[in-house]
Structure 1
């Protein structure tokens, strides 16, 4: 297993992986299409944020992204290939992300969580601090979580 920085030529693959990973939760086709723009990773995103991929046998199994915001970070992405969920890849990426955030002297990481992913983040030590409005669906509230560093 190897965790490394994403390269800009992987943007399309990471976009497709994030879309498949979100669809894992059984969202409707219309819901998923409405989310497509938010799930798209552009080469500029890879340059502007900190995105790491986890490879196993040279195949990308998942990725994590952080954005720096003053003395904290925002978890912008954490997606695992749906065929690989439950194999520990999410935990490995989570631990790597914490180490990166520590290295950046961040005091905390904020997470705008998908409702289905909230239990994973809580199990990893995050705590719910409120809700945040969805950027895709007006009136839809998403869990807002935080993990202190």
Structure 2
């Protein structure tokens, strides 16, 4: 049975590697992935900080995906990352993580989530109830512009 739980600080490196594998699913070049590596890195400090929230999906102790939330602004969180193991993409893991994110927001009274998405994930975020509100330049690739979404929860 797939379980959603909070990430543990000692899982930071494993989550960072999962992010790169997941990004690679979309056939990005090795150079592109190398340029993104630092931005996709999850730190044990983030996973230990009460202002950050990281939910993982697991099956029999195997990590299937995760969602990392920056909660430093109390009412306006940002989805820092949402990645799923390539073999599990399209099997509902991302949706389950987004549902868990929404529930966490409700429990904590947070009403707005900002999401800088990958162009390959536009349909996913729209299906999750987000709306596109603009664009933002990539922190990894100069000149690359990424879609920006907003998800509100009541």
TM-score when scaled to structure 2? 0.93
Q: Distance in 2 between matches of 1:103 and 1:72?
A: 14
Task: Encode CA deviations 1:82-128: one digit per residue, 9 max, x unaligned.
Answer: 01111111111110000001112112110010111111001111100
Q: Which runs of 4+ in 1 moved over 4 A?
A: none
**Number of residue pairs the alignment of both structures matches:** 149
Shift of residue 9, structure 1, vs aligned partner? 0.8
1:50 corresponds in structure 2 to 53
Q: Distance in 2 between matches of 1:96 and 1:131?
A: 25
Shift of residue 144, structure 1, vs aligned partner? 0.4
User: What RMSD over aligned residues (CA atoms) do the two structures have, in Å?
Assistant: 0.9
Q: Distance in 2 between matches of 1:124 and 1:71?
A: 19
Matching of residue 67 in structure 1 with residue 70 in structure 2: yes
1:104 corresponds in structure 2 to 108
Q: Within 5 Å, which residues of 2 pair with 1:69-148?
A: 69-148=73-152
Structure 2 SS opposite 1:50? strand
1:19 corresponds in structure 2 to 20
Q: Distance in 1 between matches of 2:140 and 2:90?
A: 28
Q: Distance in 2 between matches of 1:137 and 1:79?
A: 19
TM-score when scaled to structure 1? 0.96
Shift of residue 71, structure 1, vs aligned partner? 1.2
Q: Distance in 1 between matches of 2:102 and 2:95?
A: 11
Structure 2 SS opposite 1:14? helix
